[in-house]
Every structure is written in structure tokens, then in C-alpha cells.
Structure 1
Amino acid sequence: MNVRNLCLAFLALTLSACGGGSRAPAEGDMAMGAAEGAKVTVVEYASPTCPHCALWQQNTWPAFKAAYVDTNKVRYVFRELPTPPTDIAAAGFLLARCAGPDKYFDVIHAIMESQSEWRTGTNPRDSLIRIAGGVGIDQAAFTACVTDPKAIAALETRVKAATDAGVINTPTFLVNGTRVASPGGEGTVMADLAPAIDAELAK
């Protein structure tokens, strides 16, 4: 995937299903919860433009975070894999990186929440600029952020690592390196993810 071309396309436009992986730390991992080397590591490959990711974020993330992340029972690792519309996803990932580690997840989650805006007619660029402003990034800084060659190259590297690991769909979850086929779907109960985590914690 040529992220550089995606970002250039994003700026040029008026901007009028998301299905291997590794437990080992990867370049550019964003994480919450327990420290590196924790007994259980949960890796999520996701995209801010994936509707299934947004539903999981809305319906399941609060319970997952409260049960496992806030309690430091697991190390939660987020890995980036842009899905259609990939130009928006790529710009979103770059914006989240520019916001900094403390605000990275706030930006990703805000973009997921904004899907209802731009899927019903709002210009996606306007949504991203609004989100950028919420974390102290003005429009000029936003443009510089999503066109930064080094940041784009780093994102391309992360995307290649995901695809090289055989990850093609989002969200994809791994518990200690083992893929969980259906992490509770899009409902409120972590039907598959919680048992997989609890089994690892019990070892």
C-alpha cells in the first residue's frame, strides 16, 4: 500500500469489510495497560474508518478497558491497518501520531465516532480538522502532519509489517499471539476475547 499516494490523494480530493500477527513488540506499537513483558498481551489491528472497529469501540471497549486495561491485567497493543476509505484512514493515523502518545487513542476513537458524519455527507477532511483542533493542531499543522514524508514512510512500514504478518481484516485480535476469531462480535459481551484472556491469566 502506497501511503504517500493515499495522503496526496486525500489532500487533492474535496473529500466529499474490514479478516497471523505477533505478540512481540513491533516498531510503532501504541499500547495501554500493563508494561511490556506482561503475562498477557492483546493486540488489535484496526482502522479508524472500519465500521466494525467503530462498533467494537463503542459497544465493547469500555468493558474490556475496565476489566483488563485499567487493572493492568493485560498489555493492550494497537496496530495500524488502513481500510477503505484508505486515504482518510491514513490521514487519521498520521494525525493521531502528531497529536502525541497521550492523545493518540483520543484521536483514533474520535475519528471512529465521526464515521456517522462523513458517511452521511459531511466532508471527511472537515471532520479530521475539527478533531485536530480538539487536540491543539490547527489547519496548517494538520496539512503539514499528513504530508510529512518521514511520518508517511513510517506508516508504510507499519502497514507492511501487518500485511506481512498475514493480517488483512480489521478488527483482528490476538491474545498472546493467538488469533481470536470472534472477539465478542459487535455486542456488549466479550464472548470470545474474555475467555481467551482469562485462560492465559490462569496459566
Structure 2
Amino acid sequence: MKKKNNNQTFAISVFVGILLLLGALFYVSKVQDKKAEESYPTISGVNDVKVDGFNTKDQPTIGNKNAKIEVVEFGDYKCPICADWTRIVFPDIKSEYIDKGLISFSFINYPFIAKDSNLAALASEVVYSYDKDAFWKFQEEIYAKQEDETKTWATKEKLTELAKSVMPDLDEEKFKKDLYKKEAMSQVSSDVAIGNHYGVQGTPTVFVNGKATADPSLESIKAAIDAELNK
């Protein structure tokens, strides 16, 4: 009988221990989730945004803002194809159309690949708010230093380092704080809402005068631009 009681006591102890362990694991998981959310915030307020066109007056834009052709690219800084597009396709678009004043070209964030896509998008908005010209240099730098899309590499520290490389006088502590302020979040949520409204499914996606090109290839984009020029 004593042996049976000992077994029951042991069983109860094990059961209680398992419950305590599960509770501790749940708590740790919640703490980790909270820390991850603090470091890599989700983009909030997207459904509250009223979309009225691409709203390019608030977007990074180069070229002739009075041109009759408006080209818009949606991109994610974690997207390897976006990096290739910026390195291979964009220079031809710039030399053939932007530099000649034939089009305006705007970039809109559409982070969707991973949690640090959001932070990279927020960082680009902060850079843009500091120095509009530095935005394009920052974009080149972040794509040049892009790592494997399956890794969480767009950290607060790395993004600050990249911003510092294009803005040597950057106040690093202020930049880190501004990454999480509502101003940057509001702009990215607006960007995502615009992308959703126009049916963006991935990046890069390019629009010419409000119509998505067949694909982001140089040939498709040139065909769409030339068709508009010939109207």
C-alpha cells in the first residue's frame, strides 16, 4: 500500500512538473514573441488607409514630375529579384527615360517576404524623411548588402550602419528610435494599402500610368512606356 501511495505521489509530482514546464515554455515564448514584435513590428493601420491613386507626391520620385508618363515600382528590400532589377534593369530605364525627362519614376514599399522586410521598409522611410536624395543611395546600398532572403538580416543595427554609410552625419540613436515612430509606420501602411488596392502580388511589380506591366523585364517596361509616348 505504501508503495502504491509513493507511486501516486511520484505521478502527481511528474504531472505538476510537466505543467510548470509547459507554463514556463509558454511564458518564454510569449516574451520572445513580444521582443520580436518590438524589433520587427507588423505594419498596422493598412485597412484604415483610403487609397486615392499612387499618391506619388509623398513617394521617393526622380525624373520629370511633370512628365505625362508615371512609372511606379513596388519593392521589398529582402527580395533578391528586386536587387537584380535595380542593378540590371533600372540603369537602362534611367538612361533612356528618366535622364531624358520623359518619365517620372517613383518607388513604393511593399514588404511581404519576412518580418525584417517591414523594418527595412520603415528604415527607408526614415532615411527619406531625413534626406530625399540620400534615399536612393540608401536603396542602392541595402540591395548591395542584401543577404539570403531566408535569413533575418535587416536588423536595426545593420540598417543603421547602412544609413550611416550614406549619411555620415547621421544621429544613430535618433535613427533607431525613429524606426518605430508612427510617422514611418503611417507611410509604410499607406504604401502597403496602395499595393493591395492595385492588386500587387509580389515584387518587383511595375506600373506605367496606372497599369501593371506584363512582367518587370526591361522589354515589357519599355513597351509600356513607348506605347504611352506614342499616344
Which TM-score band (shorter chain)? 0.7 to 0.9
Counterpart for residue 219 of structure 2: 191
SS class of match (2:219): coil
- How far the C-alpha of 1:128 sits from its partner, in A, is 1.1
Secondary structure in structure 2 of the residue aligned to 1:116: coil
Partner-residue secondary structure (3-state), 2:132: coil
* Secondary structure at the counterpart of residue 115 of structure 1: coil
Q: Pick from 154, 158, 162: which aligns with 2:187?
A: 154
**4+ residue runs over 4 A deviation:** 21-24, 117-123
Separation in structure 2 between the aligned mates of residue 24 and residue 133 of structure 1, nearest angstrom: 29
Return closer, same or farther for 1:123/1:67 CA change in 2, 3 Å cut-off: closer
Cα contact 1:99–1:137 (8 A) shared by 2: no
The match for 2:27 is: none
Distance verdict in 2 for CA 1:30–1:7, change over 3 Å:
farther
Whichever structure has more helix as a proportion of its residues is 2
How many pairs align? 184
Greater relative contact order (Cα 8 A, min sep 6): structure 1 or 2? Answer: 1
| Corresponding residue of 2:130 | 99
* Contact 2:74/2:109 (8 A) holds in 1: yes
Greater Cα offset, 145-154 or 21-30: 21-30
Note if 1:10 corresponds to 2:40.
yes
Of 65, 68, 79, the match for 2:94: 65
Structure 1 length-normalised TM: 0.77
Q: How big is each residue's C-alpha offset from its partner over 1:164-200, in whole Å with a ceiling of 9 and x where there is no partner?
A: 222131111111111112122xxxxx22111211121
Task: For 1:148, give the aligned amino acid.
Answer: K
> Against the structure 1 CA distance between its residues 123 and 193, is the aligned structure 2 distance closer, same or farther, given a 3 Å change threshold?
closer
Partners of 2:187 and 2:121 in 1: CA distance? 11
Residue segments in structure 2 that go unaligned for 5+ positions in a row: 1-34, 42-50
Query: In structure 2, the residue corresponding to 1:45 is in which secondary structure?
Result: strand
Q: Deviations over 1:49-81 (max 9, x none)?
A: 211110000111111111111111111121111
Q: Which runs of 5+ in 1 are unaligned?
A: 12-20, 185-189
Match of 2:60 in 1: 30
Seq. identity, %: 24
